[in-house]
Amino acid sequence: MNIVIMGPPGAGKGTQAEFIKNKYQIPHISTGDMFREAVKKGTPMGKEAQKYMNEGKLVPDQVTIGIVEDRLAEADCQAGFLLDGFPRTIVQAQALDGVMEKLGRKIDAVINITVPDNILIQRMSGRVSCKECGKVYHLVFSPPAVEGKCDECSAELIQRSDDNAETAAKRLQVYNEQTSPLLDYYQDKGLLRNVDGDRDPKLVGSDIAASLDKA
Ligand code: ADP
Ligand code: ADP
Ligand code: ZN
């Protein structure tokens, strides 16, 4: 299965991606995670990306398309993949189509998680993640067993620097302007599957699984 998972910031893409990758045994490719990793390592690409991420803006298409193209060419993607946070612009979607065509493959389904804006703001403002293993928690909706510590590895939980109120609002605006036009793009191709993300994560997950089983 070659799957794209879409939705505004905080919709639950990463949370649901964990379920999907285990069910279908496919790699989870998150451009946001890749950029954060590059920032942490201090690579030239990371330094470039950080300027945009800090302002809630999109990293330029050229940079983003390049890293995804390289990642999709790796061996573990040959039996399928789950793309999270990419594409985010029409140019990226067209580039993905080109890559798939070159590889003689196609996208099987595009999952779109919908959540009202006021809930998205709450999700982003309470999101924390493990400094070591990256596991994502929410201070109110899914807190760790011990405050400030990861359930899996006991490492410290940290907040993303772009999850502050101002940058979160900017990211929502960027989503509405630059990413939401992709919904029509994939609807026209018959690939779009809308899922109500404003429910218990397990219910959201079972809806996604049901729609993928039909794909
Ligand atoms: P995205 O990858 O789309 O930005 P995440 O999966 O990181 O979203 O989720 C954003 C925040 O909301 C996290 O703190 C996560 O724990 C929480 N969250 C995710 N799904 C749900 C849900 N269905 N109900 C309540 N909180 C959720
Ligand atoms: P969220 O989980 O809140 O939707 P991500 O982790 O996917 O956010 O992305 C964080 C930031 O990384 C974005 O605000 C943007 O700056 C950058 N980014 C991630 N994916 C892309 C992309 N496909 N194109 C451009 N920028 C991206
Ligand atoms: Zn951890």
Q: What is the pLDDT along the chain (215 residues), one digit of tens a residue?
A: 999 999 999 999 999 999 999 999 999 999 999 999 999 999 999 999 999 999 999 999 999 999 999 999 999 999 999 999 999 999 999 999 999 999 899 999 999 999 999 999 999 999 999 999 999 999 999 999 999 999 999 999 999 999 999 999 999 999 999 999 999 999 999 999 999 999 999 999 999 999 999 87
User: Three-class SS of residue 94?
Assistant: helix
Distances (CA, A) of 77 to 5, 35, 111, 134: 16, 19, 19, 21
Query: Does 59 fall in a domain?
Result: no
Of ligand 2's atoms, which has the minimum distance to the CA of residue 36? Answer: 12
Domain that holds residue 96: 2-26+79-116+168-213
Angle at 147 between CA 145 and CA 149, to 5 degrees: 80
Distance CA 38, CA 153 (A): 22
Determine which residue's CA is closest to atom 20 belonging to ligand 1. Answer: 12
> What distance in angstroms lies between residue 189's CA and the mean position of ligand 2's atoms?
24
Query: Does 183 fall in a domain?
Result: yes
| CATH number of 19's domain | 3.40.50.300
Query: Does 207 fall in a domain?
Result: yes
Distance CA 183, CA 186 (A): 5
Query: Does 187 fall in a domain?
Result: yes
Query: Does 197 fall in a domain?
Result: yes
Distance CA 155, CA 55 (A): 28
Number of folded domains in the chain?
1
Tokens of 74: 């790796």
Distance CA 119, CA 122 (A): 5
Query: Does 41 fall in a domain?
Result: no
Determine which residue's CA is closest to atom 18 belonging to ligand 1. Answer: 12
Query: Does 191 fall in a domain?
Result: yes
Contact at 8 Å (CB) between 175 and 168? no
Among 29, 39, 58, name the best residue to mutate to test ligand 2's pocket (greatest count of ligand atoms within 8 A of Cβ). 58
Query: Does 84 fall in a domain?
Result: yes
Neighbours of 131 (CB within 10 A): 13
What string of DSSP letters covers 169-207?
HHHHHHIIIIITHHHHHHHHTT-EEEEE-SS-HHHHHHH
